[in-house]
Chain A
């Protein structure tokens, strides 16, 4: 599923970013990369732009960019699970 397919208030985990160089780096600088949690907050008219939340950052994306991000929607709706450590640096 793509980030652009999510509906308002849906949460998901990023599984792949199908972008190269510049765009990928830019997304990463906001923490939007594999393993990140995202939530769709709002869409503009015609879904031309999408507002998402990554961690506690609100981010605006164009649909074209959101289409390049593969996600896995969180199931079970409002179950609040503690965030898992994903490939964390050990020994901190």
Chain B
């Protein structure tokens, strides 16, 4: 993977300085991403409090004491021997890639479990530094760690840090530096159980006698790797003649170890060994008087939030509150933004004399991008809510509460995480689905993720509900839209599980991280980066799309038609003039490229109540959902001749009716997510054929349900 976050090769060339490549490994929820921010001083990685925020390995570069630090943030894993995608990504990198130092980030408040991974990492025999993160929290909890003793047992440097307060971060950087510069690699002093140790000594002795050496490893390290069946070592030693003699010895040793552990599963033996090592070390170096305060607090909060009867209502209330805030609060600045954009458009328009250019800039660019900007407040509020859910640790509780329910629909409690992320943006949601281990669970989740209406669809809902319902009703409608999307997703999941993806379920074993209050800084950065990427999208992709839509709706110019009408208009009186001008505009639109596309697809959409303009808006939404609103803006404002330019809402209210609006909302809820999301889906699902399935699946569902909605609504309204 390239380093995208900074122009890494350029910097390197310019300064001619050495680089240190650091693999950052740690269990989930140890504050790894936050530590990166503290170390790099920048904020390029999103930080979260549930497993699965860092779904791919990420790279961050920065300079420190004339060295370029190149941090590779590996996904948080409890172990590197496991079966999940993240574990495979982490292991693959750690074993096969080239890097200088492993930086193992450890949660000081939960040392024992974290040491399980540390023990695994030590067996890789690389230069390594341990960062005891959350030192401040540990102190508050009354946990004392004997740093000196821990270093002695592990044999490698250990630094106490706090990513939150910045404590020890400089020392950590210096330590990494020092380790990188040192000639010798430190060796771990970990001692295994007696039976395993016996065999290690036996094999080490044999290797010593033969004068064997492998890389910079000690023969003890080779012996451990052979006994614990490290594949890579076997592969590399395969052609070495010494193996002929070694095989029988190893076989003997393994038999001995098997008998002692009462199993022949080396992975299980490894786990048991690591567990005793971790337990032993924790007992020796950690002293704490009573159960940590933070853990007690977490349990107290859990007793309310996970309450058998209150848990789910509390969750639903929180979600409802979030959507209510999104609508009510987001509406306040919206009016001002709307007015500002309108005024800006008028101002710019009055300074451009060329009619075509003015139309391009005012109607195409300002109108299109402005329509998207309008929804920034709503999106910011929604992102704050989702960021809060993620960073506090509540998300995992929700998975716990909902698994019983989700499981009935053939989904996993953990599917909840991508599904909720899907309410923000479908792209990261598709990627978050990687936390699901079983291929089937993952595919089902991927297929229904689009039904969770993403933030970009919000503008469409706000526009249509706002146009046809009062503010109070619109808020409830919005909630209803999101909920029914979710319910539809569940029903579809069950159908997929029964009809397409049959078979075993993934086990549900997940950590409930301690509750943590996110710092304002962290929250700000999450929301800020999301808002910026939304605006970037508005500034680039949507700008281009707006211009394209504007062009397609204004060209080709039909001169014959223009002449015909200008003659008529010249003859007509004032009243008729307005009518004729309107007619001309409408005719022109119909003959434009956009009109032709819309007309072509109109028969397909006609049974749903959509005219060609709505059809075109939907089609443009395949590029990005934000474009739907801007397209409607262009299409409807061009047809509007009235000097007192009314807002899009009012125009829609005049042109459409409630059944059409509802039918349109339903179609938007269900049909294919944006181009970017579709690309990610194809990648995550593992093939283009899945995209075809998704396209057919969503389009058919959207069409059928819109049809039903339209006809039922026609009977009611």
Contact = CB atoms under 8 A, between A and B. Distances in A.
B597 to A, nearest CB: 50
A91 B622 CA distance: 65
A56 B109 contact: yes
Interface residues of B, number: 62
Most chain B Cβ neighbours within 10 Å, of A35, A59, A61, A87: A87
A44 interface: yes
A64 B505 CA distance: 11
A90 B130 CA distance: 23
A36 B489 CA distance: 39
Contacts of A28: 79, 268, 271-272, 275
Contacts of A86: 276, 279
A60 B283 CA distance: 25
A30 B28 CA distance: 11
Nearest to B273: A89
A91 to B, nearest CB: 5
Contact of B272 (A29, A34, A56): A34
B312 A45 contact: yes
Contacts, number: 163
A92 B403 contact: no
A44 to B, nearest CB: 6
Contact of A30 (B113, B190, B268, B403): B113
A43 B109 CA distance: 25
A13 B272 CA distance: 15
Nearest to B280: A88
A58 B193 contact: no
B507 A89 contact: no
Contacts of A72: none
B139 to A, nearest CB: 16
B83 A25 contact: yes
Contacts of A92: 153, 191, 280-281, 284
Contact of B113 (A56, A85, A89): A56
A-side interface mostly: mixed
Q: Tell me the dominant secondary structure on chain B's binding face.
A: helix
A35 to B, nearest CB: 8
B68 interface: no
B509 interface: yes
B79 A85 contact: no
Given A28-B271, A44-B401, A48-B407, A59 B83 contact: no
B508 A49 contact: yes
Interface in B398-432: 399-401, 403-404, 407, 413
B82 interface: yes
B565 interface: no
B667 interface: no
Contacts of B401: 44, 49
Contact of A60 (B276, B279, B400): B400
24 contacts: A22-B83, A25-B79, A25-B267, A26-B82, A28-B272, A29-B79, A29-B271, A31-B112, A31-B275, A33-B272, A36-B275, A41-B299, A42-B302, A42-B306, A44-B306, A55-B282, A58-B299, A58-B511, A59-B509, A65-B509, A83-B283, A87-B272, A88-B193, A92-B281
Interface of B: 78-79, 81-83, 109-110, 112-113, 116, 153, 190-194, 197, 265, 267-268, 271-273, 275-284, 291-292, 295, 298-299, 302-303, 306, 308-309, 311-312, 396, 399-401, 403-404, 407, 413, 437, 507-514
